[in-house]
Chains A and B, each alone.
Chain A
Amino acid sequence: MTAPSTISTSEKTSGFSGASWLLALIPLILLGVVLTYLVITGGGLTELAGPPLEQVSIQRITLPEPGIIQVEVVNGGPQEVTIPQIAVDDAYFYFTAEPSNTIPRLGRSVFTIDYPWVEEETHRVMLLTSLGVTFEGEIAAAVQTPTPSSNLFVQFGLVGIYVGIVPIFLGVLWYPFMRRLGGQAMSFVLSLTVGLLIYLAIGTWLDANEFAQELPAFWQGIPLVIFIALLTLGVLLALGNRRKSSESTPLGISYRIALGIGLHNLGEGLAIGAAFALGEAALGTFLILGFTLHNITEGVGITAPIARKNPGLKHFALLILLSGGPAIVGTWVGGFAFNPVLATIFLAIGVGAILQVVWEVGKLVARDSGKLGLPLVNWVNLGGALAGIAIMYFTAFMVKF
């Protein structure tokens, strides 16, 4: 009775290269036939064909020089769109389109409008499609879009340093103090780190969604954020499990915290740079002061896991650079070459990375509490977590507006 089955198995394996591949191709060939049929004949659904739906989104409005407005437009609708007229502040003006004022589906065009915009005043740009549908964009306060000059490059870099490097460096200076803390106090500091990270995870999540909502519909911005965050979390957890040393090294945790916080700070940098570019950074110094204060706890969070074992100055420098440096890169990118798709993706990675370190630092807290014979959720740990959230929450008063 076993013989026929053996034969059939061998037949399968031997025939796989030819006939089997053909079998796999049949559905694809039929799919091609069906698609061709639908495209050519309408599939008998012409009665269902509704009015054309036009959907474009304004990606970015820049003011490269006085008298010129540039609008970057992406067509996220189901068919190509032509934009024959553009009005600025309810007045039609001449414009040119690159590559064309007809934008194919998923295509992109840049419209250059001759309009004498007024420094620090608000302007509204209205695109009219050939069917008369209107899409509006706003310039909140007109300021010439910064072009990469060495002076501005240095200034934006300085902003990044104030926002990212300086506060984290100051926070790290608490390290010697932390080393003298007893078991319970250390639990408190680690719990505070967890609270801080939870706050950052939520903040980064909201920032990512803010960018995601501005994306053209086909990007499916919010699902994109969720999937990338979950993917990042999954990959980092899987990498963590691969280490057979049963437990991650404290220094490794510190590096992953630094990475997560770094991605968060990249987002902050992007927001600040973009705000400068869009003329929304009238609060300038006040905003930077706020971020400096807001981010100081991050230094504590990064070094808390390594309180038991000093890894040496080189590692401290690297940790500060990894967590604070992205703020500089973010400010440059946000100011000079903002890209909402990349911003969304990086922030989503940040969400996943931060969630993963919440998990890891949480395990450290659990281990320490276990050693002290205390349950994971005790008043000290709870107080620490709440303190972490509260510090972040209240210092954020200076940067949210």
Chain B
Amino acid sequence: MQMLVDWDYGTLSQSEDGKPLRVYDVAAGDVEIEIAPGLFFPAWTFNGRVPGPSIRCTEGDQLRFNFANYGSHPHTMHFHGFHTADMDGVPGIGRGAINPGEDFVYEFEADPFGCHLYHCHALPLKRHIHKGMYGAFIIDPKVGRHPAREFMMMMNAFDTNFDGGNEIYAVNTVGHEFMRRPIPVKVGELIRIYLINVVEFDLINSFHLHAGFFDYYDHGTTLEPTLKTVDTIMQAQGQRGILEFKFRWPGQYMFHAHVSEFAELGWMGLFNAVQPADYNAALAEVGLDEEWDYKGTHGSSLGKGNI
């Protein structure tokens, strides 16, 4: 639930040439995570969580990642975005794989704006991805987007018995989490989802919204929607985009992969749309507070204030 709105803006300062500079500390490590009630998975993580921190910045920012590998295997950080080859985080190119106990600094400019991702690119790639080494990389356009309640949703899955097929599917790791705790939203407000698919082994994943339609910005690299008024979109692994929609009426609305198998193995959830007056009660019902509400509605502005 926290990961929906948990943006990581890094530490903001001024670079030598006067640009905003954001510094992020990222540590790779082995952590056992709970991916469904009572079910534990030996994950490889960025900063001890799956998905890793949701990196958020603005187009044109200078980004610096102090990456340290405390894990048991070599890892890298490979960002989707413009950068030079030696910052690509691929074994054998530039610094290549960062061995356990070693560190490295990735540095480049945030470009282009959009909804991106980063992941470990060490070999074997499949294992490093499905073990949990990925995260959102959101670059806001300089001109900004319309104010909205924003959520980061990473469609992921886990192969708990290592047979090359997933046992648990989810958004943000925990299967069926949002069925147990519906996400509180307000009727009539603009909702924006940064949706990313990292599911390993399966060719496609999808997102379907009940009782509503959304505009879709593939990769989030445009200010105009690439698809208008749809209720289902499909994403290949590594594909991502931005969804924008509003609920017209109060009630509980499902969202899930329209791959029924994934849905029933954990990838389904509910939005709980309420009238603004009832919002605090809806928050309390699922154990959330005003801070969660604030982070959700101030995603693009929060990181700018503390320069």
Contact = CB atoms under 8 A, between A and B. Distances in A.
Interface stretch (A128-136, A250-258, A261-269, A391-399): A128-136
Nearest to B41: A132
A128 B36 CA distance: 11
Contact of B265 (A82, A87, A133): A87
A116 B11 CA distance: 53
7 contacts: A87-B167, A90-B265, A91-B261, A92-B265, A92-B266, A128-B160, A130-B39
Interface in A106-141: 126, 128, 130-134
Contacts of B158: 132
A132 B160 contact: yes
A84 B38 contact: yes
A284 to B, nearest CB: 35
A84 B37 contact: yes
A132 B264 contact: no
A85 B39 contact: yes
A87 B263 CA distance: 12
Given A92-B175, A92-B176, A133 B160 contact: yes
Interface in B124-163: 158, 160-161, 163
B161 A133 contact: yes
A319 to B, nearest CB: 54
Nearest to B260: A91
Interface string A84-108: 1101001110000000010000000
Contacts of A128: 39, 160, 167
B41 A90 contact: no
B249 interface: no
Contacts of A126: 167
Contact of A132 (B37, B167, B265, B266): B167
Contacts of B261: 90-91
Given A92-B175, A92-B176, A130 B40 contact: yes
A130 B163 CA distance: 16
Contacts of B266: 92
Nearest to B262: A90
Interface in B5-45: 36-41
Interface residues of B, number: 17
Interface of B: 36-41, 158, 160-161, 163, 167, 175-176, 261, 264-266
B43 to A, nearest CB: 11
Nearest to B159: A132
B213 to A, nearest CB: 27
A85 B36 CA distance: 8
Secondary structure class of chain B's binding surface, majority of residues: loop
A269 B161 CA distance: 38
A82 B160 contact: no
Given A85-B39, A92-B265, A134-B161, 7 more contacts: A87-B167, A90-B261, A92-B176, A132-B39, A132-B41, A133-B160, A133-B161
A90 B37 CA distance: 17
Contact of B40 (A87, A90, A92, A131): A131
B167 A134 contact: yes
Nearest to B32: A131
Q: Which 8 A-B pairs have the closest CB atoms?
A: A132-B160, A84-B38, A91-B264, A134-B161, A84-B39, A90-B261, A85-B39, A130-B38
A128 B162 CA distance: 13
Interface in A186-238: none
A84 B36 contact: yes
A87 B37 CA distance: 14
Contacts of A132: 39-41, 158, 160-161, 167
Contacts of A90: 261, 264-265
Contacts of A82: 38
B175 A134 contact: no
A361 B41 CA distance: 62
A367 B2 CA distance: 89
Contacts of A101: 38
A73 B158 CA distance: 25
A132 B167 CA distance: 8
Interface in A123-165: 126, 128, 130-134
A82 B37 CA distance: 11
A80 B184 CA distance: 39
Nearest to B38: A84
Contacts of A92: 36, 175-176, 264-266
A85 B161 CA distance: 13
B4 to A, nearest CB: 22
Contacts of B176: 92
A92 B37 CA distance: 12
A88 to B, nearest CB: 9
A87 B166 CA distance: 12
Nearest to B162: A132
A132 B163 CA distance: 11
B161 A91 contact: no
Contacts of A87: 167, 264-265
A91 B265 contact: yes
Interface string A42-86: 000000000000000000000000000000000000000010110
A132 B40 CA distance: 7
A92 B260 CA distance: 12
Q: Which of B41, B175, B264 has the most CB of A within 10 A?
A: B264
Contacts of A134: 160-161, 163, 167
Nearest to A89: B264
A131 B162 CA distance: 11
Contacts of B163: 134
A134 B266 CA distance: 16
Contacts of A133: 160-161
A338 B14 CA distance: 76
